[in-house]
Structure 1
Amino acid sequence: MKKRGLVVLFSAVLLLQACSNKDFKPRGIVSETDVCKVCNMSIVHEEYAGQIALSNGDYEMFDDLGCLIEYMKNLNKGDVGKAFIKDEGENNWVDVKTASYVYDKDIWTPMSYGVIAFESKDSAQQYIDKEGKGKLLSYSDLDSFKWGVHH
């Protein structure tokens, strides 16, 4: 009897672990109901939006990269399934951790953080070259970054 109980317990643990290996994908924004989890603003400018797919299957939406990063800093690492941000050039969802970023105090974003995302470092550098302004940043730079007017 004890052996059977251990087998059931072991099977349940394996099943739960399998469930946690989800393939997290971005979801579409529902403009009528989605609001930023940090500032409670409607997501009017979808081209700057971000989102987190939490490990429990819930999604949180954000109107600006700065709000998303602020929220992520307060989560346990195990709570985040995957985070996404809109690419400035293509307006598609990209992984927050692999994206490249450009900051300039004069870049407009919904909450005035002044940081925009690009799918690749080359795309970000092309933006800087074309606009003649901006500082190239990586995801790891965002942790200690001085967020413009929010610093």
Structure 2
Amino acid sequence: MKNLHNIAVGILVFLLMSACNTNPKPIDYGNDGCHFCKMTIVDKIHGSELITDKGKVFKFDATECMLNYMAETKDLQIGNILTNYYEAPTELIKTQEATFLISENLPSPMGAYLTAFENTANAEKVQAEKGGKLYNWEALKAHLHKK
């Protein structure tokens, strides 16, 4: 009887700990829908995820959709914010570590021409070829919210 009790407690602890997991979940391209605009997520370079501190995952087809959702939903308790990036489509990195390029020569799904890069050096190489302006996460949020 005591073993059954210990097993039940162990399962309960495991479930509680996994419920607050702020790790990303893979985007199922072509099947998952954007939480903001409801479009199917197909572009493997521009997807993003917002994960609450309780582990709920919201998937988006573009970083601008995620930013719009964040602006409309003020009471979010955010655990992690991630974005796909140019150099490794389908991979996710923290938005705070990414460099963003807005270039009209590099389209994104929702028309903001916004693409994330793993680092500033990679973003500068593409910027030299395609033009545009570079932003870090905080500057990008300020830029897009003043429009």
Q: 1:139 maps to which residue? A: 137
Unaligned runs of 5+ in 1: 1-14
The alignment's C-alpha RMSD in Å is 2.4
Q: 2:10 maps to which residue? A: none
Q: 2:63 maps to which residue? A: 65
Q: 1:10 maps to which residue? A: none
Q: 1:8 maps to which residue? A: none
CA-to-partner distance for each residue in 1:12-38, whole Å, 9 max, x for gaps?
Answer: xxx9xx96xx56222111236411111
Q: 2:72 maps to which residue? A: 74
1:1-151 equivalence runs, <5 A:
24-31=22-29, 33-76=31-74, 79-91=77-89, 92-129=91-128, 131-146=129-144, 151=147
1:59 CA drift (Å): 0.5
Provide TM-score, normalisation by structure 2.
0.77
Paired with 2:111 and 2:64, the residues of 1 have a C-alpha distance of 9
1:46 CA drift (Å): 2.2
The structure-2 alpha-carbon separation of the partners of 1:145 and 1:31, relative to structure 1 and needing over 3 Å to count, comes to same
Among all aligned residue pairs of Structure 1 and Structure 2, give the percentage whose two residues are the same amino acid. Answer: 21
The structure-2 alpha-carbon separation of the partners of 1:56 and 1:114, relative to structure 1 and needing over 3 Å to count, comes to same
1:76 CA drift (Å): 4.2
Unaligned runs of 5+ in 2: 1-12
1:73 CA drift (Å): 2.3
Q: Report the 3-state secondary structure (helix = DSSP H, G, I; strand = E; otherwise coil) of the residue aligned with 2:97.
A: coil
CA-to-partner distance for each residue in 1:58-91, whole Å, 9 max, x for gaps?
Answer: 1000001100111122344761110110011122
The residue type paired with residue 139 of structure 2 is D
